[in-house]
Structure 1
């Protein structure tokens, strides 16, 4: 008899873990399909089948296909901001941004990184508008965080911060574009997680005197 309350106490936790696992499988399946077929070329039925669940189950977790894009992107934005805020105060701004991007990108799928660049081509107008709005707000917040790290006497401090923030995000765009090009050419294609450190390292070297 004493074992029953313990089992009952564990059951809600098990249900929560299973729900989170299903939600994660749906997001990961969608990210793979979006990357391979594009947003417009992927259906809810495709996503559900790839996650090995029914369409009815899909709608228990997400209202629409579009909803799969926004939560990961917004969550990723917040993660980057927190990582950057936690970097040492004396760290060089570009180095801090690159480190924050690398730390934040690790838990996310390659498909989620598209939120750091530009809305997916072929996406419905409503989703494009929401993604553009979310991205613009993130870009402004990231610029503000970079500006706080620059010395107060930095010439054109606001411009300097904007260039650094936008350059770092452009490096992410370059990774995704390069990956798409290699995929189309049928050449070996490291994952976005493999290419991102290389891209940010190249960015850090720009303007550095040759040795």
Structure 2
């Protein structure tokens, strides 16, 4: 039966207090995450353009259109933004490694997982700090964090590789450590090479993924040439 157009339209039933509270909480969390993302993205861009020393907390806050007081609600200091995407990047590599075929050679699996992280790495603060000529004077500030970061991830990667190795692998723990360490050493070599080439004006348009593939190829050649 058609409703009388003149009849009053009934309002939707009011949300219960738990539903309203949940909705408001979800909205607040989304706003917080958006602000955090803006601060991280702004810091990455500013670090790349001006270097770490040349970027202030005020600059980062202004880039995200928030106050300095708001900045400190999300991060303890400017230093906390040096490597803000590391957790995500390493989780990405670990998840990708878990998806690799179980029969794949362990070194190939690690290399392919690391290559998959090139795109997200390129958008992170870490790549801005590692590639930018503007941060050369800040190397000591960054170095200790980079060393600690890679050491922790290397330990985690070693355990994942160890779990992929057949149960009867001789000295499996040592082999897993060598595979993880060698793969990450190749990554570090690519980053250092790009930075050095940028500094002396010889950096080409070769994408990082291609350089990484080359580095991993060299790593395998070295391994196959060993007695």
The two structures have a TM-score, normalised by structure 2, of 0.67
Select between 31-40 and 92-101 the one with higher mean Cα deviation: 31-40
| Aligned twin of 1:122 | 140
Please tell me whether Structure 1 or Structure 2 has the larger radius of gyration of its CA atoms: 2
Distance, in Å, in 1 between the alignment partners of 2:129 and 2:165 is 26
Q: Deviations over 1:73-104 (max 9, x none)?
A: 23333332232233221111122112222334
User: Could you say which residue in structure 2 is the equivalent of 1:87?
Assistant: 100
Aligned to 1:18: 31
What corresponds to 2:216 in structure 1? 204
What per-residue deviation string (whole Å, max 9, x for no partner) do you get for residues 102-135 of structure 1?
A: 334544524235899xxx72328xx93x664443
Q: Give the corresponding residue for 1:165.
A: 180
Q: Distance in 2 between matches of 1:98 and 1:18?
A: 36
Unaligned runs of 5+ in 1: none
Residue in structure 1 matched with residue 62 of structure 2 by the alignment: 49
- Whole-angstrom distance in 1 between the partners of 2:101 and 2:210: 22
Partner of residue 102, structure 1: 115
Q: Report the alpha carbon displacement of residue 201 of structure 1 after superposing the two structures with TM.
A: 1.5
Rounded to whole Å, the distance in 2 between the matches of 1:159 and 1:73 is 26
CA–CA separation in structure 2 for the residues paired with 1:52 and 1:32:
14
Contact between 2:183 and 2:216, CA under 8 Å: does it hold in 1?
no
What is the total number of aligned residue pairs between the two structures? 200
State the shift of 1:20 in Å: 1.4
Alpha-carbon distance between aligned partners in 1 of 2:202 and 2:175, rounded to the nearest angstrom:
37
Cα 1:145/1:4, change in 2 over 3 Å: same
TM-score (norm 1): 0.72
Q: 1:122/1:4 Cα in 2 relative to 1: closer, same or farther (>3 Å)? A: farther
Counterpart check, 1:174 vs 2:189: yes
2:46, 2:55 within 8 Å by CA — same for their partners in 1? Answer: yes
- 1:63 CA drift (Å): 1.8
Shift of 1:140: 1.6
Q: Report the Cα distance in structure 2 between the residues aligned to 1:12 and 1:157, rounded to whole angstroms.
A: 48
